[in-house]
Amino acid sequence: MQNRPARFLSLAWYPHSMPRRRLFPVAVCLLACSFAAAAAPLCHAAAPGKPPLRVIHRGSVTLPDKVRDAAGNEVAITGLSGIASLGDDRYAAIMDNSDKLVLFSLAIARDGMPEEPTDIQVLTLSERHDYEDVAPCPEPLQKRIAGRRVRQGFADPGRCLLVSEEDTPAIRAVSLNDGSLLGVIPTPKEFATRRPNRGFESLDIEPDGRHIWTANEEALPADGPPATVGAGTVVRLARIAIPNADEKATQKPVQLAYAVDAPHSFIRIFGGEPLSGIAALTGLGEGRVLVLERAGCPGLPPIENRIYLVNTSAATDITGVTENLATQVEQHVGKELLWKDQLGCNLEGLCLGPALGNTRRSLLAIADNNGIGTPNQIVGFVLDEAGGDARLPLMVGGAAIVALVLGLLIYRLVR
């Protein structure tokens, strides 16, 4: 394992294999399940007690499966695993196991429904990694990067983004001008012990621009077991302070214990264990974080996503805990369920969109098509600060049925 640099910004589901099979009988079964599912709502957006927020699903649009880059080369769009707002109507999405970043414009209707993406561009990064999420680079960090680069004799790199990747693992800064990687954000050493492909799946910046949020996808080996039938897993949420351009990095990261739900109930079709972990984080400010969980199972239904609200303001810092975190239930941060569903697609990224008026705000998720030819989807939600109880839309219509049929193919990414 490579040693991580000690100084700030030093220069120094589930993607496993699964044999392909002929799935025609399974597809027939899936169609039957789809029609049965259309008969009733899958869940409510809020449990009794009315949490302070609610999440309402609005619908989805697709990104093309191919686009030309600046050199005129046709690039396949696949494996979109993270999404970030760049301001106004501009967004970025990262492709896993690649060197590609996708930039696009997206208008959001007043009801929270995303409209057709436009002005789609592809940026080639200077290194290929298993990128999993993307976040805007806050101004203090961007100034810090520019100052260091200029002192080293390089040009100011201009605007940059942060990307997380699982193979090193690391959080990296990348230039939007030319795709060059500009350095590494120091992260707690515990994360270097992550299980293969269970590292930094998630990444976001607090609205104040002073803190980074990330987490491991499933439990570190010393902390406890991965998810399995009937049992979840415990991961570490990390809140990393960003110093100003002229400050030293003196504030240590805070780590919090988070218990991920067990995989959903399923009808087994294949061998293998189900999985469940954190796919994305979205900071809301004042210690509040949205957590997108994603479970994959070797059967029907293949994928379930859940969005929880976590208030970390009074949570216990478990940085000093080095083992058996799963058994220390009293240390686990509390969470409130806002939404869960089995949409037939694999949601892996989450970000805030524009305000929609009153207490409502747009929330966008992106679905990983896992390289199997299913659509690249952007899924729209409304995040309502008023809270309350709202029934989710029924899973009806041809598009949802096709998505569920193809969903079983998605499960190959989690083994």
Confidence at residue 387, expressed as pLDDT on a 0 to 100 scale = 63
Say which residues have a Cβ less than 8 Å from residue 35's Cβ, sequence separation at least 6. 401
Spatial distance between the Cα atoms of 1 and 197, rounded to a whole number of angstroms: 14
Bridge partners (DSSP) of residue 235 are: 258
Question: Angle at which helices 24-37 and 398-410 pack, to 10 degrees?
Answer: 130
User: Considering only CA atoms, which of 361, 376, 346 is closest in space to residue 63?
Assistant: 376
Q: Is the pLDDT of residue 380 over 60?
A: yes
Q: Is the pLDDT of residue 9 over 80?
A: no
Q: Is the pLDDT of residue 389 over 90?
A: no
Q: Is the pLDDT of residue 414 over 50?
A: no
Say what the pTM is.
Answer: 0.84
Q: Which of 108-112, 196-200, 214-218, 390-394 has the lowest mean pLDDT?
A: 390-394
Q: For residue range 232-272, what is the model confidence (pLDDT) as tens digits?
A: 999 999 999 998 767 776 789 999 999 999 999 999 999 99
Structure tokens at 7: 């100084």
Say which residues have a Cβ less than 8 Å from residue 295's Cβ, sequence separation at least 6. 13, 227, 261, 263, 264, 274, 275, 276, 277, 303, 304, 305, 306
Spatial distance between the Cα atoms of 163 and 99, rounded to a whole number of angstroms: 11
Domains of the chain: 24-413 (2.115.10)
Give the type of residue at 179: G
Q: For residue range 140-150, what is the model confidence (pLDDT) as tens digits?
A: 899 999 998 99
Spatial distance between the Cα atoms of 108 and 375, rounded to a whole number of angstroms: 20
Beta pairing class for 303-311 and 336-341: antiparallel
Bridge partners (DSSP) of residue 367 are: 347
Q: Is the pLDDT of residue 395 over 70?
A: no
Stretch 167-171: mean pLDDT = 95
Confidence at residue 71, expressed as pLDDT on a 0 to 100 scale = 86
Burial degree of 272 (CB within 10 A; 0-12, 13-18, 19+): middle
